[in-house]
Structure formats: structure tokens, C-alpha cells
């Protein structure tokens, strides 16, 4: 009996060890990081479900995938990583995601972090955001490429970017704001930026063909290159601004601005009132659609201005705009010659002519209009726009219109006199067919009401003697009422419409 009990106990212990080992493998089969908070070996870390790592965590090697993890402190990617790839998959960082250097790729899949800090380093880092990734602020103190690739619709991606490095920065994607706070070299390969600000002189912003910026605010001089677009550009400080691309509204808000458009176009250039002159150089092939100039300014180069509105003295232009608008009395220099706006001509008084109302006629009928020009010796002429329908003839101040056939014709009358501006009046002649419905009337007869769901309908034609016609709606033929010279019938309510009337000769 004891022997059997011992065997059973041994079997039970062995089974418990097997089950316990299996469960430990299921839960702990992946390497865990929370013991020391340092990941030093390549591999996949994190359980199938979400895990919390308290305090800071450091990754010091490439080939690491950290998944399903909430880091309550900072997540640090050491400069020891060097090259290769580090993947964060469904990782939330409550502190900062700090990158201390390297030339590797950081892949963010469905990750969230309040801030990414890329510290100064010698490598070329690439950070790729995918899925539902959302990063509040990315602070770049070293060379980096930020790339949105395969984001879910509506995912934030990289929201705001602050650039504090003079090394090359590449941006690919859609960003809310990019603040350039160094003599940076920034290239936007594709995508759209809602707002860009320049705070430090000497920055270069290169927009590729498929890149665009909604608003660009320059509080320091910078250079804009590439073939991309900027919807609104504000230049808020003195200095040289070499520009190119497809630019919308460009506003020079400071004295001492030297604007050079090397290539591309400006839709609207605004120079507000300023103390000192603004200089604008337009390269050959560059263009400005509209320029409004409210301060002294000099325009040089072979580029073209389509329309210039000049509201200030002291404006010079090497090339004549296609259209010039200036205030009277201003003197400007255009293509080496003094240009003064000619006084506006004195407006001529206009001949008076009474209004003419539309008329309706039947074929063969004639109507007349009395014309009353002022002065009364003004010359009158009249004509029809469709002589097949109606014609017009003048006899003194009397206009006679003769109807020809059904249709519409516009009659035009002109009154002119030397020393006066001409006056034109028009009216429409409508010629109705005799068989056309003139009046469609739903009536009631108290002594003989229509049955429920039906209407009593009267139809009047333009022909003064309509007895020779047949009128019907649907299959219902109407009766002729000789006293009213009208046709009547009782029809269903849904058919009681003028458009349903059919008229034919007997």
C-alpha cells in the first residue's frame, strides 16, 4: 500500500513540474527586459499581452524587437547600437524616447510617445512610423530621416518636429509643425507640412516636387530651394532671401529685404508700407502674377510681372509689367523711363432711354413700343435677334414688332448721340402657337363637385376660336365649353398638370 502511495506521489510531482514548466515557457518563453531594464542581446522582447516596465529602459544592440510594452520612464537607445534595425511594436513610452546615436533604422509600429529626442551624433539615423503610431514632438539634435510609411488613416504619425542641428534632415510625410532652430539643411522629399517657422539665420529648406507647406514664417533669413509649393510665406526680418518653387502669397513685412526669385512663380507679392526700400530680383523665366507695392521698391532681372499695383513713389522696374495700375500723381520708373499715369478721362453723360417690357404675340400679330430717348434727338436703332420669330421696325420713336412663328426673339434698341455714352435696352418677344395652352385651371363647381381623388380642370388655348381642337389628359378627352371657349374634364389628381395636356387638330 505504501509503495503504491509513493508511486502515485512521485507521478503527481512529476506532472506538476511538467505543467509548471509548460506554463513558464508559455509566459516566459520570450526574453524579458524588466529584470535589469537593459536589453543587450538581439531578439524579441515582450509577451503576447501588454507588459509594464517600470522606470527607464535601455537598448544597446541592434536586431531587437520590443513588443507589447508600456515603459513608464524613458526608453533609451544607446549609441552602442551602431547599425542594423531596432523595432518597437505596440510600445508606449510615458517618458522620452531618447536616441543617443548610430546609423541604424528605428521602426515604430503602432507606438505612442510624447517626445522623441535624437541627441547629437555622427551617424545617419532613420526613424519610420507605421500603423497607428503617434509622436507628439520629435526633437532633432543630430542627423536624421523621419519617414511616415504605411500609416493608418487618421494616425498622427510625427506631429511636431523641432530641428536643432546643422546636419542634414530628411522629412517624408505629413507634419503639423516644423520649427527650424539651427542653421539647418532640411529636405522635404514628399508630403505636406501645415506650418514651418525659421528662427535662426542660414537655414536651407528644400521642397521636392511632391512636397508642400501651408504657411512658412521666416523670422530669420533662409534659402528656399526645390520645385515644391508654399501657400503663404511671410518674410519678417531684413536680409537676403533666395527663393524658388511655386509660391502663393509672399509678404515682405520688414525693411531691408532682398528677395531673389531664382525659379518658379509667386501668385501674389505684397509689400506693405515700410520705412526703407525692398529689393526684388526676378530671374529669367521666374514670374509674379500680381504685385501690390505700398513702399519704395526696386525690381530687377528678366522675370515677368503680370500685374503691378503701385501705390508709392520711388518704385523702379527693369522690365515693364503686362498691366500697370498706379495712383494719379505718382512717378515711377519703368524700363528706364519715367512713367506717370494719365489722368482718368472725364466720363461722358449717357443717353437716356425708357425701359422696355417683354411682350407676347400670336403669329401674324403686331405689337408696338414707344421709345423716349433723352436728349430727344438721339439716334435710335433696333433689331431682332431672331427674325424668323419676330421682326422690329422703327418709324420715328415708334417701334413695331411683328410676330412670324412660334418661338422667342430678343429685340435690341440702341440710343446714341455724339458726346454721349450710348444706351442699350432689350426686351423679349414670345410668339405662342395657337394650339398652345394659355391657361390651365383647376376649378370647383359646388353644384357638381368632382369625385374624391379627382379634379375638375379647365384648359384655355391661345387660339381665340379653339373649337377645332381636341384636348385630352391621358385617355380622358375633354369637353368643349362654347360659352367659355374652354375645354373641361374630370381627371385623377395625380394627372392634373399642365404638362400632361395634349392638344391636337380635329
Predicted pLDDT of residue 345: 79
Of 112, 81, 188, 183, give the one whose Cα is nearest residue 145. Answer: 188
Q: Which residues contact 23 (CB under 8 A, 6 or more apart)?
A: none
Spell out the CATH class of 352-431.
mainly beta
pLDDT of residue 236 exceeding 70, the answer is yes
Q: Give how far the C-alpha of residue 50 lies from the chain's centroid of Cα atoms, to the nearest Å.
A: 42
Q: Which residues pair with 395 in a beta bridge?
A: 398
CA atoms of 471 and 436, how far apart (whole Å):
11
pLDDT exceeds cutoff 70 at 19: no
How do residues 307-332 score in pLDDT, each as one tens digit? 999 999 999 999 999 999 998 778 89
Residue in this structure with the C-alpha cell 399642365, named with its chain if needed: 498
Please tell me the chain's helix, strand, coil percentages from 3-state DSSP, rounded to the nearest 5: 10, 55, 35
The mean-pLDDT minimum among 217-221, 327-331, 407-411, 451-455 falls in 327-331
Question: In Å, how far are 310, 320, 460, 491 from 482, measured between CA atoms?
Answer: 77, 79, 11, 20
* Residues 6+ positions from 164 with CB-CB distance below 8 Å: 139, 140, 141, 181, 182
Nearest residue to 85 (alpha-carbon basis) of 112, 58, 59, 64: 64
| CA geometry: angle 254, 259, 265, nearest 5 deg | 120
Residue 11: predicted pLDDT:
40
pLDDT above 90 covers a percentage of the chain that reads: 83
Work out the average pLDDT over 351-375: 96
- Predicted confidence band of residue 10 (pLDDT cuts 50, 70, 90): very low
Number of residues that make up the chain: 506
Q: What is the pLDDT of residues 412-424, one digit of tens each?
A: 999 999 999 999 9
Instruction: Report yes or no: 138 and 162 within 8 Å, Cβ to Cβ.
Output: yes
* pLDDT at residue 4, as a whole number: 38
Confidence of residue 343 (pLDDT cuts 50, 70, 90): confident
Q: Give the contacts of 310 (CB within 8 A, at least 6 positions apart).
A: 293, 324, 325, 326, 327, 330, 332
pLDDT at 36 exceeding the cut of 70? no
User: What gap in Å lies between CA 411 and CA 465, rounded to an integer?
Assistant: 29
For 324: left if phi > 0, alpha if psi spans -120 to 50, otherwise beta; the answer is: beta
Contact predicate 493/454, CB 8 Å: yes
pLDDT for the residue numbered 25: 38
**Residue 499: φ, ψ to 5°:** -65, -15
CA distance 174 to 195: 11
Name the band, by pLDDT with cuts 50, 70 and 90, for residue 99: very high
Q: Tell me the pLDDT band of 21, cut-offs 50, 70 and 90.
A: very low
- Band of the pLDDT at 2, cuts 50, 70, 90? very low
Q: Using CA atoms, how far apart are residues 475 and 353, in angstroms rounded to an integer?
A: 52
Average pLDDT, the chain: 91
> 54-65 pLDDT, tens per residue?
889 999 999 999
- All cell numbers assigned to 99: 536616441
Amino acid at each position: 500500500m505504501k509503495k503504491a502511495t509513493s508511486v502515485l506521489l512521485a507521478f503527481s510531482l512529476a506532472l506538476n513540474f511538467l505543467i509548471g514548466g509548460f506554463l513558464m515557457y508559455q509566459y516566459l518563453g520570450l526574453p524579458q527586459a524588466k529584470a535589469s531594464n537593459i536589453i543587450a542581446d538581439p531578439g524579441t522582447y515582450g509577451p503576447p499581452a501588454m507588459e509594464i516596465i517600470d522606470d527607464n529602459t535601455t537598448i544597446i544592440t541592434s536586431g531587437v524587437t520590443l513588443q507589447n510594452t508600456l515603459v513608464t520612464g524613458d526608453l533609451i537607445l544607446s549609441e552602442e547600437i551602431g547599425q542594423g534595425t531596432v523595432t518597437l511594436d505596440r510600445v508606449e513610452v510615458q517618458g522620452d524616447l531618447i536616441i543617443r546615436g548610430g546609423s541604424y533604422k528605428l521602426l515604430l509600429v503602432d507606438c505612442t510617445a510624447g517626445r522623441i529626442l535624437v541627441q547629437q551624433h555622427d551617424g545617419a539615423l532613420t526613424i519610420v512610423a507605421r500603423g497607428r503610431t503617434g509622436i507628439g514632438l520629435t526633437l532633432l539634435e543630430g542627423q536624421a530621416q523621419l519617414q511616415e510609411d504605411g500609416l493608418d488613416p487618421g494616425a498622427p504619425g510625427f506631429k511636431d518636429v523641432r530641428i536643432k542641428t546643422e546636419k542634414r534632415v530628411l522629412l517624408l510625410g505629413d507634419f503639423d509643425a516644423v520649427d527650424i532652430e539651427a542653421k539647418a539643411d532640411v529636405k522635404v522629399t514628399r508630403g505636406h507640412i501645415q506650418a514651418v517657422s525659421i528662427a535662426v539665420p542660414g537655414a536651407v529648406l528644400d521642397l521636392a516636387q511632391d512636397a508642400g507647406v501651408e504657411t512658412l514664417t521666416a523670422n530669420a533669413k533662409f534659402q528656399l530651394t526645390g520645385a515644391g509649393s508654399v501657400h503663404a510665406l511671410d518674410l519678417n526680418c531684413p536680409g537676403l532671401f533666395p527663393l524658388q518653387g511655386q509660391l502663393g502669397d509672399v509678404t515682405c513685412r520688414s525693411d531691408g529685404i532682398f528677395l531673389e526669385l531664382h525659379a518658379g512663380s509667386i501668385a501674389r507679392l505684397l509689400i506693405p508700407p515700410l520705412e526703407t526700400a525692398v529689393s526684388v530680383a526676378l530671374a529669367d523665366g521666374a514670374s509674379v502674377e500680381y504685385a501690390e507695392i505700398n513702399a519704395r521698391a526696386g525690381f530687377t532681372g528678366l522675370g515677368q510681372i503680370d500685374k503691378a499695383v503701385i501705390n508709392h513713389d520711388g518704385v523702379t522696374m527693369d522690365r515693364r509689367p503686362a498691366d500697370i495700375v498706379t495712383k494719379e500723381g505718382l512717378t515711377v520708373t519703368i524700363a528706364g523711363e519715367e512713367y506717370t499715369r494719365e489722368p482718368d478721362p472725364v466720363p461722358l453723360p449717357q443717353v437716356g432711354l425708357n425701359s422696355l417690357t417683354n411682350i407676347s404675340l400670336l403669329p401674324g400679330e403686331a405689337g408696338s413700343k414707344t421709345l423716349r430717348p433723352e436728349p430727344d434727338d438721339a439716334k435710335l436703332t433696333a433689331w431682332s435677334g431672331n427674325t424668323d420669330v419676330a421682326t422690329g421696325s422703327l418709324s420715328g420713336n415708334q417701334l413695331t414688332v411683328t410676330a412670324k412663328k412660334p418661338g422667342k426673339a430678343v429685340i435690341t434698341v440702341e440710343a446714341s448721340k455724339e458726346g454721349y455714352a450710348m444706351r442699350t435696352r432689350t426686351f423679349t418677344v414670345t410668339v405662342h402657337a395657337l394650339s398652345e395652352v394659355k391657361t390651365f385651371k383647376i376649378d370647383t363647381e359646388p353644384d357638381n363637385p368632382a369625385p374624391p381623388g379627382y379634379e375638375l380642370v379647365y384648359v384655355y388655348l391661345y387660339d381665340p376660336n379653339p373649337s377645332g381642337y381636341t384636348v385630352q389628359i391621358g385617355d380622358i378627352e375633354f369637353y368643349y365649353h362654347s360659352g367659355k371657349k374652354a375645354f373641361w374634364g374630370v381627371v385623377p389628381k395625380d394627372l392634373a398638370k399642365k404638362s400632361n395636356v395634349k392638344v391636337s387638330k380635329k
